[in-house]
Amino acid sequence: MLRKILIANRGEIAVRIIRACAEMGIRSVAIYSEADRFALHVKKADESYCIGSEPLAGYLNIYGLVNLAATTGCDAIHPGYGFLSENAEFASACKKRGLIFIGPSEDVIRRMGDKTEARKAMTAAGIPVTPGTDGNLENADEALTVAEKIGYPVMLKATSGGGGRGIRRCDNAADLQRNFQRVISEATKAFGSADVFLEKCIVNPRHIEVQVLADHHGNTIHLYERDCSIQRRNQKLIEIAPSPQLGEAQRQYLGGLSVIAAKAVGYTNAGTVEFLLDDNDRFYFMEMNTRVQVEHTITEAITGVDIVEEQIRIAAGLPLRFKQHEIVRRGYALQFRVNAEDPQNSFLPSFGRISRYYAPGGPGVRTDTAIYTGYEIPPFYDSMLAKVIVDALTWEDVIKRGERALRDMGLFGIKTTIPYYLEILQHADFRAATFNTGFVDKYPELINYSNKPRPDVLASVIAAVMAAHTGL
């Protein structure tokens, strides 16, 4: 088993990995920029090291991080998600320095990170993919020719893209001509590659993804699916496990398809195979994420499997502890990405000092976060502050629990997406599980919620002030 792990990340995922290390008796090493000096992951790790004054440079310094891991006596590096988590060069640098990269091999990362190569691999394995180009586009004229053949609308995508960036929907030839250079420019800035490809746009699909685990001994399993259809501009907001929109036959088919996909590319560790489901109940492969997902929490809630612990065990060379028939799902789980954004002001970031923070609790409630009362949110990173996860035995009950948990949560000093999520939970389409990726755009009126203080939160603040005043 591994003895010491450097966590090449920050925020809530760093805290999540630190907790897994603590339970496994593994020492954890945190890194931080000057902007993160007072971050929670710095306080919780066994050791912490500053990686420079620049907010981002240190987190992206491949050889600096590898050298730090080696000099501090680490066996391995866990990249979390974002930053260098899907960087093949990082995985390669770890291997060359004798460190274990907690994730798949550099070859798999590179192959799945190239969207056109991923499409080719899935096609060869018999996995359905959306109609589109087999390789990268040479110019706008080629894109126009392909689009005319497969029909509009189409999606123009960066080959190395991810996280909702480097992607544009084009409804006609004018859109395609206008967006071609934009996507190339965005792809070059964000991913260092100007390669783009084209595929048929599945209008308002359901976004379904499957969690897989694979060890170095030939064992591959799935942990069922998650529904990520509630999203805005390709950024997920609320995630659900399992999908309330699938029948059991669809669920088993998709799980089996994902295992085939993982085996086809020699996948190891934790990964996610993402699909689009159209109105005719046809699944299409979209991409494979070669890292732990933000929403891994809800899969843990319905299966009881600690995915981060399994990542570490697999990286250490241990076999999976579970056979497929031993994975039993229970009930439903929801995850809410609580972002420091103002939905009523075009979702603009709302950075600043958290004057008060009260975490929700009670049965079936989990909060993954790195914030605390008095924490100053730095404006250099992602706006996600916390993940509120709830689980219950039925779809109706998990919605009720989600409402209760969000109302319990007190987060003051900044604007957040919590009131918006409460509106979504109360909508008839969401409750009936008849939503798709067009939900947010279809119901813009949900943003028109009241800004009045919620009585339950106001009561909790009054109680806290009274307790502090009386010394109770």
Q: Find the CATH number of the domain harbouring 160.
A: 3.30.1490.20
pLDDT number for residue 454: 54
Q: Are residues 253 and 329 in the same domain?
A: yes
Is residue 253 in a domain? yes
pLDDT number for residue 165: 77
Digits of tens for pLDDT over the chain (472 positions)?
A: 899 999 999 999 999 999 999 999 999 999 999 999 999 999 999 999 999 999 999 999 999 999 999 999 999 999 999 999 999 999 999 999 999 999 999 999 999 999 889 999 999 999 999 999 988 898 999 999 999 999 999 999 988 876 667 889 999 999 999 999 999 998 888 888 889 999 999 999 999 999 999 999 999 999 999 999 999 998 999 999 999 999 999 999 999 999 999 999 999 999 999 999 999 999 999 999 999 999 999 999 999 999 999 999 999 999 999 999 999 999 999 999 999 999 999 999 999 999 999 999 999 999 999 999 999 999 999 999 999 999 999 999 999 999 999 999 999 999 999 999 999 999 999 999 999 999 999 999 999 986 545 544 554 555 455 555 655 4
Is residue 122 in a domain? no
Is residue 269 in a domain? yes
Q: Are residues 212 and 177 in the same domain?
A: no
Is residue 93 in a domain? yes
Q: Are residues 311 and 364 in the same domain?
A: yes
Last residue of a domain, one of 174, 200, 226: 200
Last residue of a domain, one of 167, 183, 200: 200
Last residue of a domain, one of 54, 85, 102: 102
Q: Are residues 242 and 144 in the same domain?
A: no
Q: Are residues 447 and 432 in the same domain?
A: yes
pLDDT number for residue 461: 57
Q: Are residues 215 and 237 in the same domain?
A: yes
Q: Are residues 248 and 332 in the same domain?
A: yes
* Catalytic status, residue 291: yes
Q: Are residues 228 and 178 in the same domain?
A: no
CA terminus-to-terminus distance, the chain: 46
Q: Are residues 93 and 235 in the same domain?
A: no
Is residue 268 in a domain? yes
Is residue 113 in a domain? no
Residue 13 belongs to domain with CATH number: 3.40.50.20
Catalytic: which of 291, 313, 366, 401?
Answer: 291
What residues make up the domain containing 274?
206-457
**φ, ψ dihedrals at 2, nearest 5°:** -70, 150
Q: Are residues 377 and 296 in the same domain?
A: yes
To the nearest 10°, report the CA torsion of 11, 385, 306, 276.
-120
Residue 420 belongs to domain with CATH number: 3.30.470.20
pLDDT in tens, 232-269: 998 999 999 999 999 999 999 999 999 999 999 999 99
Q: Are residues 83 and 192 in the same domain?
A: no
Q: Domains in the chain: how many in total?
A: 3
Q: Are residues 211 and 253 in the same domain?
A: yes
